[in-house]
Structure 1
Amino acid sequence: MEVSKKLEKLKARLLELEGVAVAYSGGVDSNFLLKVAKDTLGDHVIAVTLHAMMHSQREIEEAKQYARNFNVKHIVVNVDNFEVKEFIENNPDRCYHCKKAVFNTVKSVAKEHNIKYVVDGTNLDDLGDYRPGLKALRELNIISPLKECNLTKEDIRVLSKEMKLETFNKPAFACLATRIPYGVKITKEVLRKIEKSEEYLVELGFEQFRVRVHEDIARIEVGKNEIHKFFSEDKLYKTNNKLKEIGFKYVTLDMAGYEMGSMNKAIQK
């Protein structure tokens, strides 16, 4: 199906729903969905963002700015104590329990605003990775219109560029908990160390990256086309010192580069 036809199908699907609450992270997919929903449904759209321990402050601030640009009512729910036991324990089904808690909150906000449907930015490509959170979406009757309309990540980037959205080439950014191996307890302290380390990589000019945590070791993954940046201007030396200052004992650079979902390999053998 041509990309333009997929877009028309998406608009038609949103019109069927009449009004929606968009579960909004400010990433490529949810930003595209919010823009199309706003253009299609006008004021019958709200954006709902959950700000909890596993979210980067930078991502939250970007989401706020994008929503302002669209002139969309944006509700940010601050959760200081994300007390989901299964999330903290960090077993392989962590994402399922986290999504269930998050989307129950989004549904509550939608109900308060007399909106019947909650939509999210799951796209067709998301079905190819280990994503236990998708089960929670089904159980809660969350609608994924991008997936329904067969929109892939590349489709969304192409359409986002045509619509002049800032996020058309934004790198993928997952919840900070994905940097921690399954079975290792998640704490606010470790999440903040990851956040600070990744903020430093932003300052250095890296675009696609992760700082994976293995006990007291920080394993840095950056895009394969960016690894060479470390070998100039003493970046290796400075990064080593900075991440140790943040709290890691050892700092390593993964020579294979960034790989989406690399922490899932341990459970896919």
Structure 2
Amino acid sequence: MDVADKLAAARDALAERDGALVAFSGGVDSSVVAAIAHDALGERAVACTAKSETLPAEELDGARRVAAEIGIRHEVVEFSELDNPDFVANDGERCYHCRTMRLGRMFDRARELGIETVCDGTNASDPGEGHRPGLRAVEELEVFSPLLAHDIVKPEVREIAERYGLSVADKPSMACLSSRIPTGVEVTEERLSRVERGERLLRAWGFRQFRVRDHDGLARIEVGRDELGKALDADFVRAARTHLREAGFDHVTLDLDGYETGSVSPANEAVSVFDAEYPTGD
């Protein structure tokens, strides 16, 4: 099947449902699912974003903007992963605990709205990409993943996003802030806050692919390898050192290997992206 056929099949599958609530981060995967759902179901489709300490404020703003682009109703629910000691412990199953809680809130809101189907942005490339315990939560909760069900891989997701004219068609994958904390180091509000403040600086300087990894007070900045020259600029170095120390880091470093997916995850493998898609962890 070509992309057009896969898109039509996904749209038809959603059109058969009474309604759908899409777990929506504003990344390309969930945005494509939201666009397809809105195309198929109109007002019976709802995009829902879960707000918590692990979601950067800029990502929530972006989700609101993309939902408006699509024209889909947008709901925001709130919860705290930090209420769950299993999540805070940050073992190899952190993303499973996060995704279970996050999707649980989606089902709660769906029931309140009288909607039976909850969808997410898992695509057909995801299952083969490293350590992804969050996908187990998707299976256990019986979330409908139309991209996965119709064999739509990541490059095809971006192609469909372009067909819908979505501004996030080429947006880099983003993971929740807890993915910046090495496995085994507790996730705390202090660590999440200083990571968010650090990454806000990189975003303001125009970096596209970046992470600030929190090694218990040592900030390790990762940027795309094609952006390393920019990160070595003297003005940026001074700004980064000052800003990240003010944010609460004791030391500030730049990783000369550049950005690497899942570099603080178990076995140095990728765990499920927020695409964020749903905030999990790269």
TM-score of the superposed pair, with normalisation by structure 2: 0.91
SS, match of residue 225 in structure 1 = helix
Asked whether 1:103 is paired with 2:103, we answer yes
| Contact in 2 for aligned 1:157/1:169 (Cα 8 Å) | yes
Q: CA deviation at 1:81?
A: 7.1
Q: What is the CA–CA distance in structure 2 between the aligned matches of 1:151 and 1:223, rounded to whole Å?
A: 26
| Contact in 1 for aligned 2:222/2:260 (Cα 8 Å) | yes
Paired residue type of 1:91: D
Aligned position for 1:243: 244
Aligned position for 1:122: 122
Percent identical pairs in the alignment equals 38
In structure 2, the CA distance between the partners of 1:265 and 1:92, relative to structure 1 (3 Å rule), is: closer
Aligned position for 1:23: 23
Q: What is the CA–CA distance in structure 2 between the aligned matches of 1:163 and 1:49, rounded to whole Å?
A: 20
Aligned position for 1:180: 181
In structure 2, the CA distance between the partners of 1:218 and 1:155, relative to structure 1 (3 Å rule), is: same
Aligned position for 2:140: 139
Aligned position for 2:155: 154
Paired residue type of 1:117: T
| Contact in 2 for aligned 1:92/1:267 (Cα 8 Å) | no
Q: Which segments of 5 or more consecutive residues in structure 1 lack a partner in the other structure?
A: none
| Contact in 1 for aligned 2:66/2:166 (Cα 8 Å) | no
Aligned position for 2:278: none
Q: What is the CA–CA distance in structure 2 between the aligned matches of 1:246 and 1:79, rounded to whole Å?
A: 24
Paired residue type of 1:94: R
Q: CA deviation at 1:15?
A: 1.6
Q: CA deviation at 1:245?
A: 1.6
Aligned position for 2:279: none
Asked whether 1:14 is paired with 2:14, we answer yes
Paired residue type of 2:45: V
Q: CA deviation at 1:234?
A: 2.1
Paired residue type of 2:228: I
Q: CA deviation at 1:69?
A: 2.6
| Contact in 1 for aligned 2:81/2:87 (Cα 8 Å) | no
| Contact in 1 for aligned 2:131/2:266 (Cα 8 Å) | no
Q: What is the CA–CA distance in structure 1 between the aligned matches of 2:158 and 2:63, rounded to whole Å?
A: 17
SS, match of residue 166 in structure 1 = coil
Paired residue type of 2:241: N
Q: What is the CA–CA distance in structure 2 between the aligned matches of 1:247 and 1:119, rounded to whole Å?
A: 38
Aligned position for 2:257: 256
Aligned position for 1:206: 207
Q: What is the CA–CA distance in structure 1 between the aligned matches of 2:200 and 2:268, rounded to whole Å?
A: 29
Asked whether 1:94 is paired with 2:85, we answer no
Q: CA deviation at 1:247?
A: 1.2
